[in-house]
Structure 1
């Protein structure tokens, strides 16, 4: 009788030996678990104490940047940052809201924590594009039509806004239909569309009605602009018209496809 083959002997040996034993991980000892839990509790308690209870992370200074007309002292006073409080507990959103409410000249502000002891206030002030005379003072109007500050001296290079309607009935009708705020925004819209070279020489933006806005330049020349619509086209047309008629005194771009100039 022939002996078993090598393959058969290997199969019998594998069957007899069975699958390899599974190695089981020993569960962590109770002492290890307790030590780990205590360490976590101590770490958490230490972090809370460091942030809220220690003197290492408290507000000691308030830095202000970005001011032009306002002073850093004015901003700090209005911000009313709780110096001495834990830095982590300072409500930066409340500081920003307080500054915008107390100082309308501020257009945007970013209050940030500056670890380990500071609060930083980055301010962006509104820029006047028009002035409304009020008695002996001037009300500054920004590029959104917001009247944000009253000053005793007119800033240089900022044109006046004049609601000067020659016909009272027309003025009343325009105010009833659009409201004064809307007319002011249209004037701002025109001021923003005027070519830079003309804007530098503009003394006043005059509003007679929604679609009757004109410019008066410092040398006495005038520009009939019309409404605030088609500002880019009117700007290009005015630039070309002034080059073509440098001696003219009156320019009309209220209909940019049919401009006109007159006077000398």
Structure 2
């Protein structure tokens, strides 16, 4: 007997498999899986937010301070005003940094870092004075309230950042002795202070230890007054490294000299004994 034809076999398979499934029924398992994933993500996010912002586990309990020298840890903590007890995640580190810079001008830079799970660490870098000037006694209103024996520290950027009752050891006193008003119009006092700072940074270390006063007469007339009544005519702040090298060699060649001139480093001079 002949078997079923190809057409008959096709009809039989269609009958056994039943009618085709609607497209919506085929999508339901995928849609259900997607919904489960979304709900899972939302639950995980909610749990994480609760742990970070509402739980009692991740709250500020400690404010460690490092890097202080002149300032005290207590001064830094009080100026920072870190909200102890608040969620660590909600602490505004930028606001803390701004408060520290505003309240403590001695601070050059500060890193405010969340120290999980319970701390906000403050790593301070203080400004270092390279010169001091006598306090002119002028407050922000322009009124004079000068107090004798007060000095203002100046850092290597020319920033006047702190008033101290006595001269710091090893820091030269800056004196501006510009004789003509025209000179100040051409080179304002702030510009002359920056030049003085520039010179202070170029002075050889051995000479810097003996420098008592850095006197600025004009932009290109800066004189160092050393211990023992010795002087160094430095000139302007230009070619500072060459002048430093020349001064070191000149002092070795003329150890008993009292006056040194390196304003032109290629033609130095010394005199006195």
Counterpart for residue 173 of structure 1: 182
Q: Distance in 2 between matches of 1:54 and 1:238?
A: 66
Counterpart for residue 10 of structure 1: none
Report the CA distance between 1:31 and its aligned residue: 4.9
Q: Distance in 1 between matches of 2:76 and 2:225?
A: 37
Report the CA distance between 1:32 and its aligned residue: 4.1
In 2, are the aligned partners of 1:249 and 1:262 still within 8 Å (CA)?
yes
State which drifts further: 107-116 or 134-143: 134-143
In 2, are the aligned partners of 1:127 and 1:143 still within 8 Å (CA)?
yes
Counterpart for residue 92 of structure 1: 93
In 2, are the aligned partners of 1:171 and 1:208 still within 8 Å (CA)?
no
2:250 pairs with 1:241: yes
Structure 1 stretches lacking a partner, 5+ long? 1-24
User: How do residues 66-215 of structure 1 correspond to structure 2 at under 5 angstroms?
Assistant: 66-134=67-135, 135-165=148-178, 170-215=179-224
State which drifts further: 238-247 or 31-40: 31-40
SS at match of 2:64: strand
Q: Distance in 1 between matches of 2:253 and 2:30?
A: 95
SS at match of 1:219: helix
Q: Distance in 1 between matches of 2:173 and 2:190?
A: 16
1:173-223: per-residue Cα shift (whole Å, max 9, x none)?
A: 221111111111111111110111101110110011111000001111000
Counterpart for residue 264 of structure 2: 255
Report the CA distance between 1:153 and its aligned residue: 1.8
Structure 2 stretches lacking a partner, 5+ long? 1-25, 136-147
Q: Distance in 2 between matches of 1:139 and 1:147?
A: 6
SS at match of 1:161: strand
Counterpart for residue 22 of structure 1: none
Change beyond 3 A, Cα 1:260–1:48:
same
State which drifts further: 28-37 or 223-232: 28-37
Q: Distance in 2 between matches of 1:29 and 1:222?
A: 89
SS at match of 1:143: coil
Q: Distance in 2 between matches of 1:69 and 1:155?
A: 11
Q: 2:238 aligns with which of 229, 242, 250?
A: 229
TM-score (norm 2): 0.83
SS at match of 1:93: helix
1:158-187: per-residue Cα shift (whole Å, max 9, x none)?
A: 11111124xxxx432221111111111111
Report the CA distance between 1:94 and its aligned residue: 1.3
Report the CA distance between 1:113 and its aligned residue: 0.3
1:214-261: per-residue Cα shift (whole Å, max 9, x none)?
A: 000111100000000000111111111111111110000011111111
SS at match of 1:254: coil
